[in-house]
Amino acid sequence: MAIQPAIDPMEQFAIYKIVPLPPVHIGGLTIDMSITNSVASMIAGAILIVLFFALAARREIVPNRGQATAEALYNLIDRFLVGPILGPDGRQYVPYLLTLFIFILVLNLMSVLLLFGNLAGLSLAFAVTSQIAVTATLAVLTFFSIFILGFVKHGPKFLTLFAPSGMPKFMLIFMVPIEMLSYFIRPVTLALRLFGNMLGGHVVLSLFGSFVVALGILGLSGGLASIALVPSALSFAMIVALTGLELVVAVLQAFVFAALATLYLNEVVNFGHGH
């Protein structure tokens, strides 16, 4: 009889419907409006964010812990990203960048902190940012919103972004396509960076969880097999260490996503500097 693995590391990424809803037909396009585990996790994350800022927005002279945390998150985006990169003209974009950062951060942390429930067979959280469709949507919406903003603010002159200053005209035939390719590949790399880091971390954690369960069951059978309890305990220690690392990665990847969005926005806000 074949031995089944204790945990399938890819099972946690399966999407299934929680609340089936009738599809919506728009022309020849059919949109499934059912609430899946992925959608439910995003809704839960959005509710947590709204509740947190609703409770933290007290405007007290001596802030409580919630207000201090909210102000620290705001200052992280305002003082460490927008101020140094965009300058004073970029303050109006802080709300969007902060929302982007907080949304990704909360989804990342939810998928890590509630992962132990998944290891125990409970579907408590879904790793939303481990889905390329979600990270690609965030990346494409962010990138093309910035691209459209560039045209709104600067008109056709924004296209000179693809023509490096000081370049001989005959070289533009080669350089413009290269610059355009490198520019429009940004949402791909933006999406893959977040997706790959979160996917890899969850797979590794699940694999070590499988080792803990399989070796633990083997060790409890007694006899010489009890030596399997040692690698089972070591695997559990690795899970604890990797969970700490994954929490760091969750925060870092949210910040990196917001930082790259700020850098792309800089080409619109400070357009013409160096062109």
d(CA 122, CA 114): 9
Residue 131 contacts residue 195 (beta carbons within 8 Å): yes
d(CA 68, CA 248): 21
The residue behind tokens 């990797």 is: 242
- Measured CA angle at 270 (ends 268, 272), to 5 deg: 95
Q: Which two tokens stand for residue 34?
A: 């059912």
Q: What HEC string does 140-172 produce?
A: HHHHHHHHHHHHHHHHHHHHHHHCCCCCCHHHH
pLDDT score recorded for residue 107: 92
pLDDT score recorded for residue 116: 61
How far from chain centre, in Å, is Cα 31? Answer: 24
For residue 49, CA distances in Å to 40, 43, 164, 244 come to: 14, 10, 42, 22
Return per-residue pLDDT of the chain as tens, 275 residues. Answer: 344 444 567 777 778 888 888 888 887 788 888 888 888 889 989 999 999 988 887 766 777 888 888 889 999 999 999 999 998 888 899 999 999 999 999 999 988 887 665 555 555 567 889 899 999 999 999 999 999 999 998 888 888 888 877 777 777 788 888 888 988 999 999 999 999 999 888 888 888 877 887 888 887 877 777 788 888 888 889 888 988 899 999 999 999 999 999 999 998 888 766 44
Residue 81 contacts residue 259 (beta carbons within 8 Å): yes
pLDDT score recorded for residue 3: 45
pLDDT score recorded for residue 144: 92
pLDDT score recorded for residue 275: 46
* Burial (Cβ within 10 Å: 0-12, 13-18, ≥19) of residue 43: exposed
The H or E element containing residue 24 is: strand 24-26
d(CA 163, CA 174): 10
Q: Which two tokens stand for residue 68?
A: 């201090």
